[in-house]
Chain A
């Protein structure tokens, strides 16, 4: 069972690195948003550093959505999903493996690159590391929530728009607590740990509910 799980993660990681894969796509998209904001806002460093964490989080949410519609759709189209439903492992484990691989190729690189991109929006050291930490804790929730929408729209061609409409509202709590935790680190009335704990709780809830819901959506026969 563990072998099938690891094989699934290894395959998805390998696919994202190959031609036509979505390996660096979300990271580049993330960089584009963050790089454009200073040009749009002008050279007001105080303003930039005040809204910097919010910009990074907003970019992370949008970057997660890129390519999310292909998470299950690609496997549905070529019949790989039939292979996965025929595997002697629960479909929930298949979903967990695919979402883990998705996070490893989108959320994790975003969190790791956040300190670097923080330079572009004039974040100081504390805010930079705090934002990276909140992204590390919060982006799994985005992947799990997105997986539910991806599973629901797996058999719909051009389901990207429906997917975004479905999952964006559900991502709002993660966004709120992610930004408030990052901002609490650089001063404020709330201690940093309180919103961070809520953020971690949101990730854990999304991991359980998202896995079960996505597997149920995929299992539903025609």
Chain B
């Protein structure tokens, strides 16, 4: 698929977050979104997932048939969409049945992320890093062309970061797109960088990154 974003602007609670944001991605492309805390990285991802309405600008996708943008993407963010009382396997199986386009089985996906033993454990028993890896395993149980990752390496150890880098490289080799909001180098080779500068440079207060 191809994604192009033209002159996107975002305003939250009356405050201008960013404006005139434009970029275009084709098959195999990756975009690292950087910027200081509160610059609007998560807001940009929220607009792409449809949670947030842009103030201005246009998002167009092509080469995906009739699917809408939310139906083409996987979003992994701070709120991981996992139910604590269900096991890792049950969570992934539910995601697979709900989202369709099945690829790996939940067991295989967890194995890829080094969590094969957690298949039958309730997610509540897992550590923050393990939880994040279960959420990342969702990228593998359903095939979707666009991955939106918000701070994907948060809470991950170095070995898991390397696994994630490998997964992203494989996804891009298959023609997938990756957009990651990050502070760190993610092992995204030759990724474009989009640095969001705060539109209102005189705004002293950091806008909360939390998705209200």
User: A222–B81 contact, CB under 8 A?
Assistant: no
B67-111 interface mask toward A, CB cutoff 8 Å, 1 = contact, 0 = none? 100110111011111111110001001110111100000000000
B98 near A14 (CB under 8 angstroms)? no
Binds A, one of B20-28, B29-37, B49-57, B181-189: B49-57
The range of chain B's interface size is 20 to 34
Known: A7-B98, A79-B80, A82-B75. A222 touches B52 (CB 8 A): yes
Q: Please choose the segment from A60-68, A83-91, A103-111, A167-175 that sits at the chain B interface, where 4 or more of its residues have CB less than 8 A away.
A: A83-91
Pair A83/B86 contact, Cβ less than 8 Å = no
Please report the C-alpha to C-alpha distance between residue A85 and residue B99 in the assembled complex, in whole angstroms: 10
B159 within 8 A of A: no
Q: Hey, which chain A residues are within 8 Å of B201, CB to CB?
A: none
In the assembled complex, the Cα of A82 lies from the Cα of B45 at a distance in Å of: 12
Report if B212 contacts A (CB, 8 A). Answer: yes
Q: Give Cα A94 to B21, complex, Å.
A: 33
Contact indicator B79/A78 (Cβ below 8 Å): yes
In the bound complex, do residue B98 and residue A77 qualify as a contact, i.e. CB atoms below 8 Å apart?
Answer: no
Closest B residue, CB atoms, query A221 = B53
The one of A8, A87, A221 that contacts B51, using a Cβ cutoff of 8 Å:
A221
A77–B46 Cα gap in the complex (Å)?
15
Which residues of B are in contact with A by a Cβ distance under 8 Å? 12, 46, 49-53, 67, 70-71, 73-75, 77-86, 90, 93-95, 97-100, 122, 212
